Chain A
Amino acid sequence: MALSGMRGLSVFISDIRNCQNKEQERLRVDKELGNIRTRFKNEKGLTPYEKKKYVWKMLYIFMLGYDVDFGHMEAVSLISAPKYPEKQVGYIVTSCLLNENHDFLRLAINTVRNDIIGRNETFQCLALTLVGNIGGREFSESLAPDVQKLLMSSSCRPLVRKKAALCLLRLYRKNPDVVNVDGWSDRMAQLLDERDLGVLTSSMSLLVSLVSNNHEAYWSCLPKCVKILERLARNQDVPQEYTYYGIPSPWLQVKTMRALQYFPTVEDPNTRRSLFEVLQRILMGTDVVKNVNKNNASHAVLFEALALVMHLDAEKEMMSQCVALLGKFIAVREPNIRYLGLENMTRMLMVTDVQDIIKRHQAQIITSLKDPDISIRRRALDLLYGMCDVSNAKDIVEELLQYLSTADFAMREELSLKAAILAEKFAPDLSWYVDVILQLIDKAGDFVSDDIWFRVVQFVTNNEDLQPYAALKAREYLDKHAIHETMVKVSAYILGEYGHLLARRPGCSPKEIFCIIHEKLPTVSTSTIPILLSTYAKILMHTQPPDKELQSQIWAIFSKYESCIDAEIQQRAVEYHALSMKGAALMDILAEMPKFPERQSSLIRKAEDAEADTAEQSAIKLRAQQQTSNALVVTDQCPANGTQAVNPLGLVKVPSMSNAERSNAQQGATHANGALTVVDPQLLSTPSPDLLGDLLGPLAIEGPPGTGPQIESRMASDLEGGANADALAIAPVEEQTQTVQPIGNIAERFRALCLKDSGVLYEDPYIQIGIKAEWRAHHGRLVLFLGNKNIAPLSSVQALILPPSHLNMELSLVPETIPPRAQVQCPLEVINLKPSRDLAVLDFSYKFGTHVVDAKLRLPAVFNKTAVEAARSGQRCKTYATGEMANLFISFRMMVCPGLDPNTNNLVASTTFYSESTRAMLCLVRIETDPADRTQLRMTVASGDPTLTFELKEFIKEQLVYIPVPSRAPNPGPPPNPTPQALPTSPNPSPPSAVSDPGALLAGTVGEMNNTMHGLGWRE
């Protein structure tokens, strides 16, 4: 041990240690800073030893948190000292004292550069360390090439090169252009052949950072990473000093697997096989041992392996192995492993098909929600949130509610937000939703944001069946002695609107309701009083026949607040007072609130926003990503589309201000009451964050002028005429058909689905139909996902399949109604009997409110789906005759087989087609092109079955004609319901004269194709 003593420094440190309090410490520090300042003033008189001592003292003071605003120059000047001891101190103190934005650092760039390009390797190390720790953009601009040179140099020793690698990583983070050098990716691959583990570890960190931004350039590194992993995990081929508790560098293993996770997939079958062998070995071979450090290190590797397996979408067997391991981990006592088990299980939710296995661990996860460790509780909450769906929402949300009363304050807000979101998204029925939110407000009122109670009001307003129930519940909560102010707001609002529905129940007469609400008034703040005043006005309106006593009581309150200092309260009091004098006219003005237009839940949006600035992998994001596949998205209504906005207000009739005759008819049924719909067009076109902005000013008096006279007339024609945005609020009560426009282009969606196995088939404002297909030989299993996007149920749901003659299709039962916000899955079995290009059609209809929607959708059970890439040995070649065409073939599930045809301008592809009549049938396709004349090509199709050959030829022809034009015409706008057969391919078109459009060009060339060859007379 060589502890070079610096007495002055030690004395100072022990002085600081002996200080009794912060004040003394500050005095001592100030004294020392004064001392150092005077010493530095006369720099010439300082010996190198003294200089070192003072800069160390400065660093110590700085580390304690005091500002040190001088002496930087002295620290930086030590860097240029000729001798090692001064230089070392200069470098290290500078790199701690300054950060990358500091001006003084610029002064040092030249010295640093000289040290880097100089011959002295210890100086090189010091300089690289400084740049690696605090180098900024300027450093990266001036030093990157020198650092790269050191890294690649064969004459440098590993101790310099490993620092160079990490230094370059720092420079790359500051300025990604530093690796925009010709041949850099090759050099990176070359670095991975390094034998020295120190250099290799550093290079791997560099690679991780590079591939995380752009994996494309580094494909050649992938097999090398797998090799390294094999070397470490399988062959254990590392020097003794690089094993850690007997494990071959766990850090390098982790980094290597991390790098592999940034590649979308591992294509080469051999590499993939070796990788899975290693992973299997890690998954199976990791045991729990007594030594903590060994255990941690081996589990660090294990968890990384789990992440990689998840990423690679391994076979089901391996996946269930992983879930089983995680299931074990979340039950162990060791807190670290349990924490990581929960965290990784949340990531696992992204993987399809394992959700059900994860659900089996629900009870165990709920136990972790009560763990003494907040870190573990958070993970458990995140996981529960992520795994929640319609099937288990009741249990999970109730568990969260229960936990809410004991949860620590740090978690309550998150907890209540999550509970509210889950309740909204997965409510099995709406009354349960109301229960949950009211409980939430009751238990954690302080943490329930306005959004949450706004949302429950919206649901209640839009669902008539719910209104009496909600009113009853609100009434019950008011019986409690101390209730949260938010509860006062929500119950007052609901009782004002719907309290009259309870009139027959005991304790619910208008007067009693008024009394119990009014009791709360002294306890609430000014923001709540306006809501109470509206409630009083509404109670008064609903009291038929008028109750004089109640009336005078309420009027007294109004007149009391007419002089209130708060403008909002005052205005309401004055207006309500004046209005309530009007008697019958009150009816019109204070009628029930109209339904709210559908908007994205601000809660969910909030959760997503919050997500943006926090963790990448948390469950909220997973949830957000899942939504797209779940078809359960609450979309913003597209304001441009008038008909969409019509719906939520569908039941509202618009009265004219002057129209008095109407009111007689409306005494009875309240919901038929004319309502003044205050629909600010702006609100519709720009979804405002404050959802109830209009709700809180419910009585603003503004009728849509000029629309009055038309009410009684039928409006359908107007609306269908795409009439206008100001017709928004008006919709006739009569049934409408087909005014609902699909979102997105159905034909485009269909085409996309022909080339892939899952996606959205159809979407409109109310429903989204997703599809997922799996094909095995000539059997197919399609699952239709019907997702109701609304907060009201979809009824009369019907789905009929009209199969063509060659397909046997069986659709399982489709439920008659889809509950709000729910998704149902309907499996559909398909058997392909013989080759044909005819398509199956799904006739889908449902009813929402007054809209009957009927859509006829083509199902993507197309010709190519029952083809399987013929598993031939040939590797994919990079020089296709026409790259685009090759890709197209691959997306048809045809294998492009380079090398079969000696002419490189030709493209050969093969596939095996399955159907019941043909069984497995090999098909071969050859496309001959002439590089000199791109307008022509010849296609030869061969198979053992004439029909198949013909159909395949026609199919490819159609598809070739359809190659999308990427650069132009983003909206090709095909006719609304085209069938592919109807595409502009005449059997024998002559080559077009005007060759500007590539599609047309191909259409011409396809005409040259022939289908001469039947049988397999074609040699390989």
Chain B
Amino acid sequence: MIHFVLLISRQGKVRLTKWYSPYSQKERAKVLRELSGMILTRGPKLCNFVEWRGYKVVYKRYASLYFCMCINQEDNELEILEIIHQYVEILDRYFGSVCELDLIFNFHKAYYILEEILLAGELQESSKKAVARLIGAQDSMVEDAKEQASSIKNMIAQATK
């Protein structure tokens, strides 16, 4: 089971967090502090796993951003590493060559996409296409609602003229 997902920049800034196990805000801060201290200092040619408090953290660096997922000791590490990659590929496709800035300003989008990939700390959907379809459908629902609202606004505006 994945206990949490963290996106941390090379400077140690938090870009996204998602917690599947209950942690208080205080504990979260501690986790972030400890893990960024451990992970950001690791050299480039080391393995993608660090052992931490009896758990394992699988991480991978993409450009300036570290994607980290914390799992149980007995879980399959490589499987998680490729979930990270899958997430990155989907983000990349959605934003069109994603960069850190995209995720900073659209962190809510990053959440929407993550919600379609993971649920309850487990992989929910392993098809990139299926995720893209679902996100597309959600976006168009939001757009439709917006258009509807503005057309109603226009109608009201015209009627009250």
Contacts and interface: CB of A to CB of B under 8 A. Distances in A.
Interface in A61-111: 62-65, 67, 83-85, 88-89, 92, 96, 99-101
B81 A336 contact: yes
B40 interface: no
Contacts of A100: 22
Interface in A154-181: 159, 162-163, 166-167, 169-170, 173
Interface stretch (A293-301, A541-549, A844-852): A293-301
A24 B21 CA distance: 32
B145 A129 contact: no
Interface in B14-36: 14, 16-20, 22-25, 28-29, 32
A296 B83 contact: no
Contact of B127 (A10, A128, A170, A198): A198
B77 A340 contact: yes
Interface in B75-95: 76-79, 81-83, 85-86, 94-95
B14 A63 contact: yes
A241 B129 contact: yes
Contacts of B29: 65
B74 to A, nearest CB: 6
B126 A242 contact: yes
Interface string B93-107: 011100000001111
A4 B82 contact: no
Given A202-B122, A303-B78, A84 B107 contact: no
A375 interface: yes
B143 A254 contact: no
Nearest to B138: A88
A574 to B, nearest CB: 49
Contacts of B14: 63-65
A56 interface: yes
B25 A201 contact: no
B124 A92 contact: no
A393 to B, nearest CB: 25
A133 B20 contact: yes
B105 A617 contact: no
Interface stretch (A32-40, A244-252, A630-638, A643-651): A244-252
Interface string A557-599: 0000000000000000000000000000000000000000000
Contacts of B94: 1
A373 B46 contact: yes
Interface stretch (A500-508, A608-616, A692-700, A739-747): A608-616
Contact of A63 (B17, B22, B54): B17
A65 B122 CA distance: 25
B154 interface: no
A159 B130 CA distance: 9
Contacts of A618: 73
Contacts, number: 187
Contacts of B83: 251
A617 B73 contact: yes
Given A169-B120, A293-B82, A2 B140 contact: yes
Nearest to B49: A375
A905 interface: no
Nearest to B52: A375
A58 to B, nearest CB: 12
B54 A615 contact: yes
B7 to A, nearest CB: 10
Contact of A249 (B76, B77, B108, B126): B126
A447 to B, nearest CB: 19
Given A10-B105, A56-B108, A166-B124, A1 B95 contact: yes
A338 B134 CA distance: 38
Contact of A241 (B78, B95, B130): B130
B62 interface: no
B74 A92 contact: no
Contacts of B106: 3
A338 B127 contact: no
Contacts of A616: 73-74
A67 B25 contact: yes
B142 interface: yes
A339 B79 contact: no
A336 B79 contact: no
B82 A296 contact: yes
B82 A92 contact: no
Nearest to A10: B105
A176 B81 CA distance: 30
B53 to A, nearest CB: 8
Contacts of A163: 119, 124
Contact of B142 (A4, A134, A173): A4
Q: Which of A300, A335, A618 has the most CB of B within 10 A?
A: A300
A197 interface: yes
A198 B124 contact: yes
Nearest to B140: A2
Nearest to B123: A251
A336 B47 contact: yes
Nearest to A129: B115
B104 A13 contact: yes
A198 B139 CA distance: 21
Contacts of A10: 105
Interface string A301-312: 001100000000
Contact of B51 (A56, A205, A378): A378
B76 A375 contact: no
B150 to A, nearest CB: 11
B141 interface: yes
Given A85-B146, A242-B127, A336-B49, A65 B25 contact: yes
Nearest to A84: B141
A894 B151 CA distance: 82
A258 interface: yes
Interface string A127-145: 0110011100000000000
A201 B119 CA distance: 12
A122 B141 contact: yes
A140 to B, nearest CB: 12
A614 B50 CA distance: 15
A300 B122 contact: no
A340 B49 CA distance: 10
A17 interface: yes
Contact of B120 (A133, A197, A378): A133
Nearest to A334: B47
B142 to A, nearest CB: 5
Nearest to B95: A1
Residue picked from A198, A244, A375, most chain B C-beta under 10 Å: A375
A60 interface: yes
B126 A198 contact: yes
A372 interface: yes
A1014 to B, nearest CB: 56
Given A167-B119, A617-B73, A336 B142 contact: no
A376 interface: yes
A129 B76 contact: no
Contacts of B139: 2, 4
A299 B119 contact: no
Given A63-B107, A99-B22, A616-B74, A375 B124 contact: no
Contacts of A293: 82, 85
Given A13-B104, A100-B22, A375-B51, A250 B79 contact: yes
Contacts of B47: 335-336, 338-339, 373, 375-376
Nearest to A173: B120
Contact of B54 (A65, A88, A296, A614): A614
Given A197-B126, A198-B126, A205-B123, A336 B51 contact: no
Given A1-B94, A251-B83, A336-B49, A201 B76 contact: no
Given A242-B126, A378-B51, A617-B73, 16 more contacts: A60-B107, A85-B145, A92-B108, A92-B115, A163-B119, A163-B124, A167-B119, A205-B120, A239-B127, A250-B82, A252-B126, A300-B82, A335-B47, A336-B77, A340-B77, A374-B50
7 contacts: A84-B145, A254-B76, A303-B76, A336-B77, A338-B47, A376-B46, A616-B74
